[in-house]
Amino acid sequence: MFKTLARSLWPLAALGLSAFLTATPPAAGQQRPPQPAFKSEEPVASTDRVWTKAEGQDLSATIYRPASGSGPFPVLIDVHGGAWSSGDRKAGRHYDLELARRGIMVIAVDFRQAPAFQHPASSADIAAAVRWVRLNAASLNADPDRIGLIGSSSGGHLALLEAVRPNTSDHKGVAVFGPDGRLATYDHLDASVSLVIALWPVSDPAYRYRYARRAGLERLTAGTLSYFRDEAAMWDASVPRIVISGEAARLPPLLVIQPGEDSNIPQEMTFDLLKAWQARDGVVEYAFFPGQPHAFGHSPSEATARMIDVVSNFVFRTIPWSPASAGGADKVLTDAASGARPGQQ
């Protein structure tokens, strides 16, 4: 399915990055990588559920449940893009549905964003969403030990930021609804994730802000400023800076999807992310889609189908199903109800 990309290889040559790939259709007679055993063509059921409140306003999640398999299912929390200032949980509906057909539960969440809220409100909400899934794993039929993040564009940045700073003080204090319907904070629950998938991510807000300003991309510069206010806050939220400086609390396995004709995301910024992750011994994979524009995966196409194959294979290779994980949901619920921290008896 993949071939090594010669063009643009030189920036990563010194890294020995083994997963620098071009996503192309398989040649005649060439097999695709193995898919999960349960891949269904049945319609995927989706339901909406309020997961938190912000300033008295309900924030909802759309839950895409696999049509086949008994669960508990691995979970991807989908974080939408929109320059930190627009968009909603419906943006990734196409790939959310397709991933659910492959046996992955996808939960697309709404969260606080600019202009009403500023950094770090959005990423704090994403950390709270991880806790909400972990807390409500039994009713969701989700595996609390196999939770990952998938985010596109600015949502990719938020997913990355939560992944490297899951339990910092600025990612705590957001109340969520528990199994009993009570709105409360559950900051004792771990917000760490098993993996992160960044689709055309704005990994360094300051880098992209300067790029957008030079390119005259006014919508992007305005959205960035409305959320971060100044470059100091953008720099604080730079994921390559956090990783290379050693500030990252965790480096879960990372998959980056990069379109070749993305005028919103300079490739050098993405290379900085890859170099930083690998310099700190993080596991990173990178799939390059030549000729594709920013956000191509939101619409059906051959390239999008290949992207979904890449993503689903990454999930099942990174966090394979284990019968031992089936009892995890009950334990988390018991811990949450008792107030004990994970690991305490």
The pLDDT-based confidence of 42 (bands split at 50, 70, 90) is confident
Q: Let me know if residue 290 belongs to a domain.
A: yes
- Average confidence (pLDDT) over 151-160: 98
Considering only residues 79 and 19, tell me which one the structure prediction assigns the higher pLDDT.
Answer: 79
Extract the tokens encoding 65. 């449940």
Pick from 18-27, 146-155, 336-345 the range whose average pLDDT is largest: 146-155
- Average pLDDT on 31-35 reads 44
Query: How many domains does the chain contain in total?
Result: 1
In a domain? residue 16: no
Is 332 part of a structural domain of the chain?
yes
Per residue in 278-316, pLDDT (tens digit) is 999 999 999 999 999 999 999 999 999 999 999 999 999
pLDDT of amino acid 185: 97
DSSP string, 4-50: E--TT-GGGGGGT-TTEEEE-PPPTTPPPPPPPS----SPPEEEEEE
pLDDT tier, 203 (very low <50, low <70, confident <90, very high otherwise): very high
Task: Give the model confidence (pLDDT) of 216-261 as tens digits.
Answer: 999 999 999 999 999 999 999 999 999 999 999 999 999 999 999 9
Confidence at residue 28, expressed as pLDDT on a 0 to 100 scale: 41
pLDDT at residue 328 is higher than 90:
no
Q: Which residue has the tokens 């953008």?
A: 234
Would the pLDDT of 129 be above 60? yes
Characterize the bridge pairing of strands 195-199 and 254-261. parallel
> What is the C-alpha to C-alpha distance for residues 166 and 144, in angstroms, rounded to an integer?
15
Q: Is the pLDDT of residue 213 over 80?
A: yes
In a domain, 27, yes or no: no
Whether residue 82 lies inside any domain: the answer is: yes
Domain that holds residue 232: 36-338
Domain assignment of residue 291, yes or no:
yes
What average pLDDT score do residues 144-173 get? 98
Q: What is the pLDDT of residue 37?
A: 44
Section 62-70 average pLDDT: 91
pLDDT at 45: 87
CB 2 within 8 A of CB 23: yes
Mean pLDDT score of the chain: 86
Quick check: is 29 in a domain? Answer: no
3-state SS of 90-105 is CCCHHHHHHHHHCCCE
Return the SS3 of 291: strand
**pLDDT at residue 68, rounded to an integer:** 82
pLDDT on residue 335: 35
Q: Is the pTM of this model over 0.75?
A: yes
Using pLDDT thresholds of 50, 70 and 90, give the confidence band for residue 22.
low
Res 104 pLDDT > 80 = yes
Is residue 345 assigned to a domain?
Answer: no
In this structure, what token pair is assigned to residue 77? 């929390």
> What's the CATH number where 136 sits?
3.40.50.1820
